[in-house]
Structure 1
Amino acid sequence: MTNLPALSAPDLAALLASRLCHDIISPVGAIQSGLELLDDMPDDPESMALVRSSTKSAVAKLQFARIAYGASGSSTAQIDMGDARTVAEGWMAFEKANLQWSGERAYVPKNIAKLVLNLLVVANASVPRGREVEVVIEQLEPVARFTITSRGKPLRVPAKFRELLAGEATPESIDAHGIQPYYALLLAREAKLAVTLEQTDEEAVFRVAPIAEAAEPADADETVAIDGSR
């Protein structure tokens, strides 16, 4: 059984807010720089292009964060996985990897959609620029089952995610950089799902399934898992 370190609700909220600000500050800062250039050179095409591109990036990141980290309505709210796919595609358009998404579409408990998006963030961070991340939604009802695969070389699954998955993290080690993978695995625990990581030299597979169905592939170079037990 793998346990996540305990964080207080205020600490979790504060660290997630820090993560969100970190993600948004770059495009917002670029918008500010572009507007300052336009003050000196009105109608400059390069400055205008910078403002437009950065605005689109900021909007995409905020739309993604609204579902991935936000409350998404009430505690019992459901999310259309088609909407989750749309915000994922918008966010990935400004990221380093290409996104492929296939599978079932349905309204699901919000933590399922949030788990898919948060594991997508981890998968995207694992691959070099120009490579691929593939989301395959195998089943949503009556229980969720899906895989997210990072393809590319060299693969670098974030160390904090691996540490958390192996149950080696402490509360003191969770900072603004580590809070996002922590939150992903917290969502899995709340949804009573198992997350496993299977990694080879050029592929990392993040597999999510009901706890009882989580199995260790015989041909994977390495497999670690977290279950949904408290």
Structure 2
Amino acid sequence: MTTNSLDLAALLCSRLCHDMLSPVGALNNGLELMADEKDPVMRQRCMELLEQSARTSANKLKFFRLAYGAAGGFGEAVPVEEAHELLQSLTAADERLTLEWAVGEQSLSKPAIKVLLNLAAMGLDSLVRGGTLAVGAERSEGKTEIAIRAAGPKVAFDATVGKALGGQLAESELSGRTAPAHMIRLIVERDNGEVMYHHGEDALVLGAVLPDMEGMIG
């Protein structure tokens, strides 16, 4: 299965815009309230909401830059702490979510970081009622192994996302929702890796194996 790179970019942009609509919309609403509000206490509350929305918007943009983009500010390897901080920022905003981080490596290749972040995002999307997102990755015998586990009550997972991960979704069925999964599929196919998932009622497990490219990681 192949997809025109322009089509995939358009679908990823659609997903980005969809996810940014809420925090940016909240900023706009907050500014409108501030313009009409005279009570000092309410104005302070508006400022707090504006700060929260601005922080959420910035965190999401940083995430998309690394998960979807070229991550031009880094070399061939990306410090894993960058991914850790991004996922911390996304989970900290919801008290129902807990992040467990088990990545001992100092850095991973750009493709591995991209796959890790997108799989983690799928895990977060599945925790509609809250829960724990466990993220693990290690390099061994020339390969990078990535494991994501999302556990909580009534874990949700869109079957079309699973089909996109498995390369079973027709190009005509691709959407902004399934584009990240399709991108992961393209990455692992290009690099001769593999991606897999298992969805149960209370847990979603996602994993990927990518070969380390010689010279990419020190």
| TM-score bucket (shorter structure) | 0.7 to 0.9
8 Å contact kept, 1:97–1:131: yes
8 Å contact kept, 1:114–1:187: no
Alpha-carbon distance, 1:159 to partner:
1.7
- The CA deviation string for residues 69-105 of structure 1, in whole angstroms up to 9 with x for no partner, is 1111189732111111111211222356322111222
> TM (normalized to structure 2)?
0.86
1:189–1:93 Cα change, 3 Å: farther
Alpha-carbon distance, 1:189 to partner:
2.3
The answer to whether 1:63 aligns with 2:59 is no
AA matched with 2:25:
G
Q: Tell me how many residue pairs correspond in the alignment.
A: 207
Q: Report the secondary structure of 1:105's partner residue.
A: coil
AA matched with 2:46:
S
5+ long unaligned stretches in structure 2: 212-218
5+ long unaligned stretches in structure 1: 212-230
1:48–1:140 Cα change, 3 Å: farther
Alpha-carbon distance, 1:165 to partner:
3.3
Question: Partner residue of 2:28?
Answer: 32
Alpha-carbon distance, 1:127 to partner:
2.1
The answer to which of 159-168 and 60-69 deviates more is 159-168
The answer to whether 1:88 aligns with 2:87 is yes
- The CA deviation string for residues 15-47 of structure 1, in whole angstroms up to 9 with x for no partner, is 111111111121011011101111111541221
CA RMSD of aligned residues (A): 2.2
Alpha-carbon distance, 1:186 to partner:
2.1
- The CA deviation string for residues 180-212 of structure 1, in whole angstroms up to 9 with x for no partner, is 22122222223332112133332221122358x
Question: Partner residue of 2:115?
Answer: 115
AA matched with 1:86:
E
The answer to which of 66-75 and 156-165 deviates more is 66-75
Question: Partner residue of 1:78?
Answer: 77
Percent identity, please.
28
AA matched with 2:57:
A
Question: Partner residue of 2:167?
Answer: 167
1:18–1:165 Cα change, 3 Å: closer
